[in-house]
Each structure stands twice: as structure tokens, then as C-alpha cells.
Amino acid sequence: MTRLRIALLIVLFAAPFAFLMGAGGYHLWTTGWMIWVWWPMVLCIALAYLLAWRWTKRPTLPPTDDRPGYWTDRDNAAWAKVTEKAKSFEAITTKQLEDPKHYSDLALDLAKQVAELYNPGVPDPFDHLTLPEVLACIELASADLNELVQKYVPGSHLLRIRDIKRARKAVDYYKIGQNIYWAGAAIVDPLQTALRYFASKAALGTLLDRLQSNVILWFHTAFIHHLGRYLIELNSGRLRVGVKRYRELLAQHQAPPVDDPSTRPPVSPEQSADATITAAANTATGPKAITVSILGSVKAGKSSLVNALLGKNAATVDRLPVTAGVRYDYTLPGGQPVSILDTSGYGQDGPTDEDFAAAVEASRDADLILLVTQATIPGRQPDVDLLDRLRVWFAEKPHLRMPPVVVVVSHIDLLSPKAEWAPPYDWKTGTRPKEVNIRDCVSVAKEQVGTRATDVVPVCGREGERFGIAEDLIPAVVAHLDHARGSAVLKAFEGEAGARKYEKIGEQVIAGGKQVLNVLRDVFGKK
């Protein structure tokens, strides 16, 4: 289509609107309604200007804290560098936006800053990276930016490079034409033209320039954020699994879909309370189960707690093998599957090295820890020592993070007055002697464990007289599911990053050999 035809179409489309505006204005003038229409128009324009000035006063940028919940402290420190880099650009020009070298220099500088944080003191912080990891980072960042453009740029799927170039030229031509108009008008009426020119530049021109700058800066900041996120994933080693598996692992550890009771088939009470003892892996479909490890001293009430959670007497032993433990399948309200790991207990004198090794193994597998302690034993130093040792162990492994810990105060039915047990108890605000003693016990436990635990929950796991499980413990577990899923994601990446290293090399050698044989066959076949 020629330019003449395009211009003709524009004129034909605009002519009816121009006629209506002219005829309407003439009618308003002859009937004396012009003044009544003029003032609402002025007020609307003034209000629009005021709102536009206010809304464009600060740049509208993507959220600077849009980071995954499973990141470690080291990852968050790297993210701080990313956001600092994004904020260092208070303004960005269209020429910078169009310059590929600007992006390459920016990406290289940001990649170096992030890599140096993960590999301090080394001559080249990129040496440890593999080519597939780097390509995975580029692919993921590019996919995110593509989705961003597709979502927020209207008609982007139709725009071609030549269209963008033409648009840039059209803007330049418009500015040239506008300047010619102002120059011609100044010759005819210098004073009025000067007033209109400065009013235009101070009002609409300023707002449009500010809006354009905000949009450009928005996309520039989004580029830094998305690139920075995957640079962190790259240097943390989580991209070793490849793009496809990376996305699969993240999807498997997402929250399950919201359960609709109206579409749920009827289930008998026996079926809903049934849980089988198993150590099998989860099914391939649906969300992955999070692992809840139950730690505590011998006779603390761990088995009673497991039975109370499952609704049946599944755990019957007090002392389990140190290196094994027993797993139970359970489903939380909302559909999240849980694998409960009942571990061996340690003595009242504190965990031995063997006990601590078992606790470390259970905590390494855990996405959430329930530390069971007796309400009737005021001293909890062994439990505190265990948590301190676990914190030190996890601190030495920055690619992991310690699971959230919920302290479960058991045997609250044995608190004074012992002869009284008539749940439910309002232990948070109640005034009955039992309620006051439970509240005091929880307060002491909170003071003893301090910041080592995120919650302290009182329960009674005795069969037939259970209390605090559905009321307090399960809600506390559900509240920490996001943190628990984050721990599960980190362990999943760690477990798969080093898996099948040598098998993969063998597969690559075989595939390469087959390709060489095919080439040789084609070469000698032609002869």
C-alpha cells in the first residue's frame, strides 16, 4: 500500500469526525451554549492535568522485591545488588534503549557483581560455570522478557523491526512539523503564539515527556530484574538441572489448587482418617509432598503427636533406629500432601554425636521441623543446644536454608491442676487455672527458644483427650507451607544437580558416536 493511499484512508476516516466537531461547535455558538460547554471542558482538562502530573511524578516501576520465596540469605544479598543496579538508572534515553552495546555492557557488569558474591576472592568468578547453565540463564530471562512485552505492549505480536524504525521516524517528523508550525504562527502573531507555545510545553508536553521516560525506565528496570533473578539462579547452581527440569521442579513445589468441596466425592470417616506407613516416593502428578520431621527427646511425646495427627495409632515405638525413622503419609487441609518423619529421640542430657547426626539427616530431609518438648520439664537446654547446632550446620551450607521450626509443647494435660482436663481451653486469654498455666508454660518455652523457633504450640496427644492439634498445630503448619515449599525446592535442586553426571556423559558420547557414524555412512555411501 502506497503512502498516498494510506493518507487518503486517514482523511476519509477523520473527515466525519471533523465535520461533526465543526457543525457541533457552530451550533453551540449560535444557540449560546458555548460558555456552558466551555467551562466543564476546562475543568476536565485541568483535572486530567493534575492527575497526570501526580501519577507521573514518580516512575511506575515493576516490584523491586519480586523474588522467589525459596531463596537463601546469600541469594537475597545478591538480589540487593540487582535492585541497587536498577535504581542507579534514574533516567534512560531512547538511544540507550535501542543500543545493543548498552545491554551487553550492563548484563556483563551485573553478572560480574553477582558472580563475585558467590565466588569471593577468585580471579575469574565465571570459571565454574558450564555452557548449558549459561544458555539456560539466557533462555529463561529471554522467555520472561518476551512474556512481559507480549503482556504490556499492545500489538507487540504484530510489530516488526521496520515498523519500530518507521515509528521513530514518524515521531521525528511530527516534532519537525510542530516546530515549523510554531515558527510560521510566530510570524503572523508573535505574542499569542509565544503564550500558546510556553503553555503547551509547560503542560501537556512536560507530562508526555515524563510519561515516556517512565515507560522507558519501566522496561529497562524490568530487564535488569529478570536478568538478575536468573543470574542468581545460575550462580547458585540451580540451573544445572536444565531449563525443562528447572520449570518442572518449581511447578511440583507450588501450592495445590484450591479444593472445591462441592466437586469432592463423598468419603467415609474411616477413609478420611486413614494413613498408611510408607517410605515410597510421591506420585508423578500433583504437588510434591513436603517432609515434616519430628524431633525431640525420648518420651517427649513424638509418637503420640504422630498418632494425633494421623487420627490412628500408627506410631507405637518410643525408640526408633537412629539412622532410619518411620514415615507416614498425611494430607493437610487444602490438599497439600505431607510426609511425616518420626525420628529417634535423644536423652535428657542432650543429643550425643550419634543423635545429632541423626537429627541433621532428618533436618536435611525436612521442609518443616516439629520439635516436641514436654510441658512438665521446665529445663529445655538439650532442645536449645540441638537447635543451635542445627543452625551452625546450615549456616556452613549457604546453598541451603534451615527449615522453619515449630516447638510443640506436649503433655499439657499434666500441668496443674492435674486432676482437671476438660478441653477446649482458651489458653491465650482464658482465666481458668489450667488455661493460665498453659499460657505461662508457652511463654516460658518461647523465652527459652527465642528466635530459634517461629512458633510455640501447646498440645495434648493422649488418645481420647486430644487438644491443640486441629486448633493450633495444623494452622501453624499451614502458615509455614510457603517457607517449607521453599526448603523443598532448594533440596530438590541440590539433589538433581549432581545426579546422573556420568550417565549423561555416556549418553552424550553414544549420541555423538551415532551422529559420526551417520556422517561417515553418508560420505562412503556416495562413493
Percent of the chain with pLDDT over 90: 19
337-342 and 368-374 beta bridge pairing = unpaired
What integer pLDDT is reported at residue 156 of this predicted model? 63
Between 488 and 193, where is the model more confident? 488
Minimum mean pLDDT range among 5-9, 232-236, 355-359: 5-9
CATH code given to domain 275-497: 3.40.50.300
Phi and psi at 456, nearest 5°, equal: -130, 125
pLDDT in tens, 471-507: 899 888 888 888 787 777 777 777 766 655 556 666 6
What integer pLDDT is reported at residue 209 of this predicted model? 58
Report how many helices (DSSP H) and strands (DSSP E) the chain contains, helices first.
Answer: 18, 6
pLDDT in tens, 402-426: 889 999 999 999 999 988 888 889 9
Please tell me the pTM assigned to this model: 0.63
pLDDT in tens, 318-337: 444 434 567 888 887 777 88
C-alpha to C-alpha distance for 293 and 339, rounded to whole angstroms: 8
Q: What is the DSSP string of 249-303?
A: HHHHTSPPPPP-GGGSPP--HHHHH---B--PPPPSSSPPPEEEEEEEBTTSSHH
In the chain, CATH 3.40.50.300 covers 275-497
What integer pLDDT is reported at residue 318 of this predicted model? 43
What integer pLDDT is reported at residue 10 of this predicted model? 74
User: Measuring CA to CA, which residue among 111, 133, 138, 137 is closest to residue 124?
Assistant: 111
User: Measuring CA to CA, which residue among 461, 457, 455, 458 is closest to residue 480?
Assistant: 455
Work out the burial of residue 262: count CB atoms within 10 Å of its CB; fewer than 13 is exposed, 13-18 middle, 19 or more buried. exposed
pLDDT range class, residue 438, cuts 50, 70, 90: very high
Percent of the chain with pLDDT over 70: 68
368-374 and 326-331 beta bridge pairing = unpaired
Inter-CA distances, 153 with 54, 57, 302, 347, 493, Å? 23, 22, 56, 64, 34
Residue with cell 515516556: 212
Instruction: Look at residue 486 and give its three-state secondary structure.
Output: helix
What integer pLDDT is reported at residue 185 of this predicted model? 57
pLDDT range class, residue 273, cuts 50, 70, 90: very low
pLDDT exceeds 90 at position 242: no
